[in-house]
Structures are given as structure tokens and as C-alpha cells.
Amino acid sequence: MDFNTLFQGFNDKKVLIVGDAMIDAYMWGDVNRMSPEAPVPVVEVKKHENRLGGAANVALNLKALGANPILCSVIGVGERGVLFEKLMKESNLSTEGILSTNKRKTTIKTRVIAENKHQLRIDEEETSPIEQVEEFLKLTISLINDIDVIILQDYNKGVLTPEIIERVIDSANKKGIPTIVDPKKLNFNSYKNCTIFKPNLAEIKAGMKVDFDANNIAEIEKATSELRKKLSAKGILLTLSERGICINSEKEFKHTPAFKRNIIDVSGAGDTVISVASLCLASNMDYTDLSVLSNLAGGIVCEEVGVVPINKEKLLTQALKHIS
């Protein structure tokens, strides 16, 4: 495989991301004692940091890979909304697909980190379906022209409703644009006729209401085959955490074990996987090769603390080294 040509081609790709965007806030500190009030550590905060999260982190990953991402999402007005747009502009990301409303608040996830690990996470969010469905659809569909691939990034925060999902996928299919989905439980079965559907192990079990042995490849193949037929998808890309990844397509089923890694933090790994997979899909890459490269990318970001975008040069170097 000519990875140099593939990675060079990423620079020409225009990607639309539709889904739940948020702010990832961090409190970095040290733990030197336990609280006298409860059996919990006392974190002495040394630094505060705000980063783009959720679907916006997918946009960051795509930007890091050289692509041109356009994020479509709904955020609140006020201080957090202003902060979100400021973070977008600082990252040189377009805000043309961002709809602001005083009827929602911008989701913020605050992670307290000490001793190189999460001590606590605090979520401030709104998860009810958005009210501005027609306005958001009009904005999103107006941006679909000249797009190479569409990502639907669902965190169950209300931006992706069944109607929005159906109309975005339908519009994409009419224009011949591939779609790739990162689902959550609520809308799991709404993504009919997508190109690639990328659940993780917990999501496929909850979404299909089934249980199976994650170490039994035959059972995984059966479950992903049933899901592919149910959704009329061209491929199911199932991430298996430390067990790797598998792809079930019309052509074949293939399981790829995880590459050996020093795992520190799995936050944001799914965002990286779908970002790489989307660009491979837009490049007409074989689905099996797509799954292997996405698997490698997800492992790389797990070696860092917090949610971070992929490093393109590191991924290229690792791909040339580990993938034949």
C-alpha cells in the first residue's frame, strides 16, 4: 500500500461532520493527601485548560490529517457559546455550520486529572432533542455540495434526531456522497442506508439488545452481519478496545488485533478512528485496509493523557512500519 500517496490525498478532502459538539475542560493537578471529609483524594489544581470536544474533536483530527472539515452543530449562546466559537477560530476551523440558540446550553465536560489519570469527570449538558430541526437541516444540507464524505457523530446530546439523520443520509446518497456513523444507543437503529456504521462493543450489544462473547470471533461476525443487513449499510466497523477492530462488509469479514501500545487514556480514541476511517472511505480505500489503519490511529492517541487529535506524521511513520 502506498501510504505516502494516500496521506497526501487526505489534503484534498472536504469533510462534513454533523453531530454533538462540546467543550472538553481540564483541571490538571497533584494528589498529595486524602480528604478528611470523605474517602476521596484532594486534587491541588495547577492548571486549567479548555479544548474542543465531541464532534469538534473529530474536526480537529481531520484538520490534523490535512483535510478541510466543516462542523455542523448546535450550541448555546452566552459565555460557553462564545468560548466554543473562540476555540474553533483559534484552531482555524470554520463556524459556518454552527447554529447558536438561547434555547440550549453548550455542553462542557470537565475532567480532573492528576497522577496522569482521570480522578473525576463532571458533565454539564442538555440532552433533549434540538427544537430548531428545520433551521439546522436547511443549514446542514446547504453545505453538502462538493463534500467528499459526511460523518454523523452522535453523543446522545440531541443534535442528531431521527428526522435529521434520515434527511442527511438521504441527501448524501442522492449526491453519491459516502456517510460514516459513530452511533450511541438512542438513535442506534435510525442510521439506515449509511455507508459505514462504527459502533463499539458496548454500543452494538445495547443497540441490538444482544449479548455475545467478545472473544468469540464467530459470534462477532454473526452480530455484525445481522446489523449490516438491518441497517442496509455497506460495512460495519466494530471497535473492540484492547481486542482490536473488525470490519464486516458485503465482500468479507476481517478481524484485526490491536497493535501493542502503552495505553494511558482511551478518551477520544473513537473520534480518531472515525476521522481516519472517513478519509480512507473518501479515498475509495479497501474496507479491510481502512479498518487496519483506523485501528492503528486509535491506539496511537491512547498513549497520551486527555482527548488529543492524531499526529499525521506519527501515524504515517507507524503505518509504514507496522502495515505491509
Ranges 19-28, 248-257, 297-306: which has the least confidence? 297-306
Q: Is residue 34 part of a domain?
A: no
pLDDT at position 102 over 80: yes
Q: Which of 197, 139, 140 is nearest to 172 (CA)?
A: 140
Q: Is 39 domain-assigned?
A: no
- For residue 263 the three cell numbers come to 495505553
- Whether 38 maps to a domain, the answer reads no
Note down the domain range covering 261.
3-27+44-322
Cell 434520515, residue located:
166
Residue 241: the pLDDT is 83
What tens digit of pLDDT does each residue of 200-246 get? 999 999 999 999 998 999 999 999 999 999 999 999 999 998 899 99
Q: Which strands sit side by side in the sheet containing 68-76, from one edge to the other? A: 98-101, 68-76, 14-19, 149-153, 179-182, 196-197, 235-239, 245-249, 253-256
200 lies in some domain: yes
pLDDT of 115 above 80? yes
Confidence grade of residue 261 (pLDDT, cut at 50, 70, 90): low
Confidence class for position 278, pLDDT limits 50, 70, 90: very high
Number of domains in the chain: 1
Question: If pLDDT is split at 50, 70 and 90, which confidence band does 258 have?
Answer: confident
The residue from 24, 148, 182, 271 that is catalytic is 271
CATH number, position 282: 3.40.1190.20
Q: Per the domain annotation, does 36 fall within a domain?
A: no
- Give the CA angle between residues 123, 124, 127 to the nearest 5°: 100
Cα–Cα distance list, 96 to 71, 74, 136, 167 (Å): 8, 11, 12, 20
What mean pLDDT is reported for the chain? Answer: 93
pTM of the model: 0.94
Question: In the annotation, is 271 catalytic?
Answer: yes
Residues 6+ apart with CB under 8 A from 146: 14
